[in-house]
């Protein structure tokens, strides 16, 4: 493989690309075409604005909004200011966003618009510790802007006070081992954790990922995964700039728009779960769509039906179908390669990428034989620097020898292909988003009428898995599942909202006095097999 160029940092990478390929179009949208040189110019203006606000090297800046060109510009602006990007999900509610802002000590928040043109900064409760909130539009007439609130245009105006050479010195002073991101990942204690990644590991991981994917300058790549997610930010936004591919940020993805996106946008690279590609094939069967531009399909750590791969190759004409496995704490772990047979792509996530080691171990930490199940351990450059401000929790998952204990259960075959077969953690996945039961339980308890809450993931034909909450009312409280669900929808990201809420008198406990999640999963299975006995 071609080694990553000797950039070292994201600001140096952007400067080199803009110097060598100033006219390469890297961002495209309905009303946007941004070249590499234009991206550098806009990012530098943002960096100067942040410096004028007092943002220093290593400071955290939160970004909150949908995938759009503004998000791209501001992310590179944060990096060029020597600061650390803290992405917040556009689906997050005020309580969730505030928790991550407080955890990381972010003092500046840059927001876009949410659903229905909501100014996301207005959703925050008081007491987040923010000094400045940068918003897309001025406050409406008659409404006094909050302290430290300014618009995107005003941020750039303030940046005029900072000399261009000062901004250049700041960008070039960033070191390869400086943090570039603190990514939110579902916690096991009811609060999200912040995964720390540095410039060097992100550049190497996604340069290699892009080479295996064969991402190149003439590609058009819609980024459907949110920029707040590791895949959307690093395997989308950053990878496109690394390889000078044109990214098409997708603010709100709808399945109905998929074919129009691929056909009219002349899309060549498409990433998503198998359900996305099933939908593409179904739509192709119904209409005369032109999908001849599509050449690479990327799935992620999911079982892919062999028939799906065959149809994508034979009916659509894709050159490559790629399966891969990664996680927030470990960046890219394994990928299938060119020439792999259909069976390998369908059933595994391929071999470890260069620079990464993978082991499968039993409960005692001993390696198991090829073909046997065990926990996946990973070691190498891609392992996170740790959880932000949580050294004890970091030590729980990264051992003294540098092995990351992923909590995922897998199997390695004789050729080194890794199959993901289960998750050791309680996390479940809804439409590709990891959900922590503890976090959902903690949020539900803030509603006020509950004494206890326990959430488990159950199979779902649409989203893969869905949450089911079993709740115990406070003494004297009358809990209405429908009303509690409505509250959850107002205060949680939509993928965290349980599909069902079941009111119970008590929760089962194991011998240690902890809530018995195995018993609850068994109950959920029984409820689903006997629908007439469902309680809600």
Strand partners, 132: 108
Nearest to 497 by CA among 509, 511, 482: 482
What is the structure's pLDDT at 532?
46
pLDDT per position in the chain (536 positions), as tens?
A: 889 999 999 999 999 999 999 999 999 987 889 999 999 999 999 999 999 999 999 999 999 999 999 999 999 999 999 999 999 998 888 999 999 999 999 999 999 877 667 789 989 998 899 999 999 988 777 676 777 999 999 999 999 999 999 999 999 999 999 999 999 986 545 567 999 999 999 999 999 999 999 999 999 999 999 999 999 999 999 999 999 999 999 998 876 777 888 998 999 999 987 778 877 887 887 776 889 999 999 987 567 778 889 999 999 999 999 999 999 999 999 999 999 999 999 989 999 999 999 999 998 999 999 999 899 999 999 999 999 999 999 999 999 999 999 988 899 999 999 998 866 667 888 988 888 887 888 789 889 899 888 999 999 888 889 999 999 998 889 999 999 999 999 999 999 999 999 999 989 876 545 688 888 989 999 998 875 444 44
What is the structure's pLDDT at 278?
78
Sign of CA dihedral 126, 130, 132, 134: negative
Buried b / exposed e over 20-51, threshold 16 CB at 10 Å, is eeeebbbbbbeeeebbbbbbbebbbbbbbbbb
Taking each helix axis as running N to C, give the angle between helix 199-213 and helix 10-20, from 0 to 180 degrees, rounded to the nearest 10.
50
Query: Any idea which residue has 């791209």 for tokens?
Result: 72
185: which residues sit within 8 A by CB, 6+ positions away?
Answer: 192, 193, 194, 195, 328, 329, 434
Domain ranges of the chain: 10-204, 428-533
Cα–Cα distance measured from residue 75 to residue 61, given in angstroms and rounded to the nearest whole number: 9
Cα–Cα distance measured from residue 76 to residue 82, given in angstroms and rounded to the nearest whole number: 10
What is the structure's pLDDT at 186?
66
Yes or no: domain 428-533 corresponds to CATH 3.90.1150.10:
no
Yes or no: domain 10-204 corresponds to CATH 3.50.50.60:
no
**DSSP string across 457-473:** EEEETTTEEEEEEEEEE
Cα–Cα distance measured from residue 421 to residue 3, given in angstroms and rounded to the nearest whole number: 32
């Amino acid at each position: 493989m071609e080694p990553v160029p000797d950039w070292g940092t994201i600001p140096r990478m952007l400067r080199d690309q803009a110097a060598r390929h100033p006219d390469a179009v890297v961002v495209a949208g309905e009303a946007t075409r941004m070249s590499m040189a234009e991206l550098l110019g806009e990012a530098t203006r943002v960096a100067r604005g942040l410096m004028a606000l007092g943002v220093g090297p290593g400071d955290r800046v939160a970004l909150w909004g949908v995938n759009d060109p503004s998000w791209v510009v501001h992310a590179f602006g944060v990096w060029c200011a020597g600061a650390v990007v803290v992405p917040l999900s556009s689906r997050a509610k005020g309580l969730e966003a505030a928790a991550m802002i407080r955890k990381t000590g972010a003092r500046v928040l840059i927001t876009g618009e949410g659903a229905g043109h909501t100014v996301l900064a207005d959703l925050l409760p008081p007491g987040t510790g923010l000094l400045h909130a940068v918003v897309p539009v001025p406050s409406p007439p008659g409404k006094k802007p909050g302290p430290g609130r300014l618009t995107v245009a005003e941020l750039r105006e303030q940046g005029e006070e900072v000399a261009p050479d000062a901004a250049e010195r700041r960008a070039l002073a960033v070191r390869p081992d400086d943090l570039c991101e603190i990514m939110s990942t579902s916690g096991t204690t009811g609060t999200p954790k912040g995964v720390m990644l540095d410039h060097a590991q992100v550049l190497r991981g996604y340069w290699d990922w892009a080479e295996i994917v064969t991402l190149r300058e003439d590609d058009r790549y819609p980024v459907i995964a949110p920029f707040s997610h590791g895949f959307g930010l690093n395997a989308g936004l950053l990878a496109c700039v690394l390889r000078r591919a044109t990214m098409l940020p997708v603010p709100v993805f709808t399945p109905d728009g998929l074919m129009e996106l691929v056909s009219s946008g002349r899309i060549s690279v498409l990433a998503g779960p198998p359900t996305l590609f099933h939908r593409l094939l179904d739509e192709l069967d119904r209409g005369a769509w032109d999908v001849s531009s599509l050449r690479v399909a990327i799935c992620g750590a999911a079982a892919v039906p062999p028939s799906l791969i065959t149809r994508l190759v034979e009916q659509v004409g894709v050159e490559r179908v790629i399966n891969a496995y990664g996680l927030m704490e470990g960046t890219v772990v394994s990928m299938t390669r060119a020439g792999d047979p259909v069976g390998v792509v369908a059933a595994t996530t391929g071999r470890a990428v260069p620079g990464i080691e993978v082991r499968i171990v039993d409960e005692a930490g001993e390696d198991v034989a090829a073909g046997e199940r065990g926990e996946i351990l990973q070691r190498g450059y891609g392992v996170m620097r740790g959880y932000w401000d949580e050294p004890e929790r970091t030590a729980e998952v990264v051992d003294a020898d540098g092995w990351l204990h992923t909590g995922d259960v897998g199997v390695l075959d004789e050729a080194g292909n890794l199959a993901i077969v289960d998750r050791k953690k309680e996390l479940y996945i809804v439409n590709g988003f990891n959900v922590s039961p503890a976090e959902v339980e903690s949020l539900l308890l803030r509603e006020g009428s509950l004494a206890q809450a326990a959430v488990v993931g159950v199979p779902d034909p649409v989203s893969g898995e869905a949450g089911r909450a079993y709740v115990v009312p406070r003494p004297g409280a009358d809990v209405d599942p429908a009303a509690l669900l409505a509250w959850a929808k107002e205060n949680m990201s939509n993928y965290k909202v349980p599909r069902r809420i079941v009111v119970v008198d008590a929760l089962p406990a194991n011998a240690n006095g902890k809530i018995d999640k195995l018993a609850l999963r068994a109950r959920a299975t029984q409820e689903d097999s006997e629908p007439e006995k469902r309680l809600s």
